[in-house]
């Protein structure tokens, strides 16, 4: 298994470790529920340095990124990011990703630069896919091994982290970023993004500085500071928001339209990979949809469980499920026929010995008290 720069530190903290996307990663430290609650209500810190980062740079960098991604890169100004996906040519998703428009002072005259942040399990796959379309005056640089990434998430994060930088953290809009000095380290990208729905930042740093950054932030751990959080709580947090997980809810066989990602699929922007297929699917109408459900029973709908009708006939499949620590109910995502995907509809999860009723609901499952 691969290691991040912080693997030994996680082990020293007593983290439960397991393989994830080929990396030895912390799943939990003190327990998923406690870590989940810390992020949702205050502040937590994750090591997500296993994620992949590519720089796309050159006079036609925009053309390449616009061609391979579903969202409209022309809407990005320097210092902004967007959620997007890499469609394939048959209606599926190669990966979902973040696209960052880097500042022009990082480019030669007449050039633009972007950073693409991809899932750890898909680094090689995504690199090869994007490279296959690079017939432009642009170059790609894989900086994954040179980049560390810490996600510091929760409603108290901006106040907690402000002491480490002169950049006004509260002035950074959602899905925007700044680059500057943070915790005594130069050229840190401070990005107002995350995978928890709890607010906070993601900090990109030169990998050789990752341990220093971690140690500095861990100095404010405790009841009034940060809590180290593993990937177990990261999963429960993202599912409460209805965020897709690649390999579970989306993959090479699921279209972004079916997955409820029409908002990042800008068919009107012009030509891009997979556009014709997606346009045809949209014109014909969707036959199935990724659908949120909740159960009254405490048993959890697990990935791969079948969905059935009241007579036991199979109607779909569960892609993600958990017991929500914030809501104290079982929740899940599943693909269902369009006619069964409307909020309020009663559907059933095949639990083996029993088919349990579930209700189709709206996303997100968890709604912030401020919303």
Q: Cα–Cα distance between 83 and 100 in angstroms, integer?
A: 9
The CATH superfamily label for domain 7-48+146-240 reads Probable tRNA modification gtpase trme; domain 1 (3.30.1360.120)
* Nearest alpha-carbon partner for 39 in 225, 168, 208, 172: 225
* pLDDT at residue 171 in the model: 98
d(CA 254, CA 258): 7
Instruction: Let me know if the fold of 7-48+146-240 is the same as that of 287-364.
Output: no
Query: Which two tokens mark 20?
Result: 């994830």
Q: How is 327-352 classified by DSSP, letter by letter?
A: TTEEEEEEEEEGGG-STT-EEEEE-S
Per-residue pLDDT, 108: 81
Distance separating alpha carbons of residues 1 and 57, to the nearest angstrom: 31
Q: Which residue is listed with tokens 């009723």?
A: 357
What is the rounded distance in angstroms from the CA atom of residue 136 to the CA atom of residue 278?
Answer: 24
Residue extents of the structural domains in the chain: 7-48+146-240, 287-364
Q: Which two tokens stand for residue 10?
A: 């996680």
Contact 51, 119 (CB under 8 A): yes
pLDDT of residue 161: 98
Question: Average pLDDT of each block of 10 consecutive residues along the chain (371 residues)?
Answer: 96 97 97 98 98 97 98 98 98 98 85 97 98 97 98 98 98 98 98 98 98 97 91 98 98 98 98 98 97 95 96 96 97 98 97 94 89 46
Q: Residue 146 burial (CB < 10 Å; 0-12/13-18/19+)? A: exposed
Q: What are the structure tokens assigned to 323, written together?
A: 């017991």
Fold category of 287-364 in CATH: Elongation Factor Tu (Ef-tu); domain 3 (2.40.30)
């Amino acid at each position: 298994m691969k290691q991040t720069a912080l693997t030994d530190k996680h082990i020293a903290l007593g983290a439960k470790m397991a393989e994830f996307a080929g990396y030895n990663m912390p799943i939990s430290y003190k327990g998923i529920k406690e870590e989940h609650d810390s992020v949702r209500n205050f502040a937590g810190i994750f090591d997500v340095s296993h994620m992949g980062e590519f720089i796309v740079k050159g006079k036609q960098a925009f053309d390449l990124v616009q061609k391979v991604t579903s969202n409209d890169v022309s809407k990005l100004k320097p210092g902004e990011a967007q959620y997007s996906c890499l469609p394939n040519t048959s209606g599926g998703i190669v990966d979902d990703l973040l696209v960052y428009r880097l500042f022009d002072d990082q480019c030669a005259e007449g050039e633009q630069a972007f950073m693409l942040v991809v899932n750890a399990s898909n680094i090689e796959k995504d690199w090869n896919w994007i490279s296959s379309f690079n017939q432009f005056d642009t170059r790609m640089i894989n900086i994954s091994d040179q980049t560390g990434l810490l996600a510091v998430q929760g409603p108290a994060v901006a106040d907690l982290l402000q002491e480490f930088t002169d950049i006004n953290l509260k002035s950074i809009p959602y899905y925007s970023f700044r680059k500057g000095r943070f915790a005594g380290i130069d050229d840190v990208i401070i990005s107002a993004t995350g995978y928890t729905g709890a607010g906070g930042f993601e900090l990109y740093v030169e990998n050789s500085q990752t341990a220093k950054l971690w140690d500095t932030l861990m100095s404010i751990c405790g009841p009034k500071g940060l809590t180290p959080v593993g990937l177990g709580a990261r999963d429960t947090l993202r599912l409460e928001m209805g965020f897709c997980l690649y390999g579970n809810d989306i993959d090479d066989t699921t279209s972004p339209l079916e997955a409820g990602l029409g908002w990042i699929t800008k068919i009107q922007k012009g030509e891009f990979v997979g556009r014709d297929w997606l346009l045809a699917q949209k014109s014909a109408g969707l036959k199935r949809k990724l659908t949120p459900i909740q159960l009254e029973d405490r048993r959890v709908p697990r990935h791969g469980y079948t969905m059935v009708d009241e007579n036991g006939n199979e109607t779909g499949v569960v892609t993600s499920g958990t017991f929500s620590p914030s809501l104290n109910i079982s929740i899940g995502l599943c693909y269902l026929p369009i006619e069964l995907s409307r909020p309020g509809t009663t559907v059933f999860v095949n639990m083996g010995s029993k088919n349990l009723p579930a209700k189709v609901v709206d996303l997100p499952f968890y709604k912030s008290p401020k919303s």
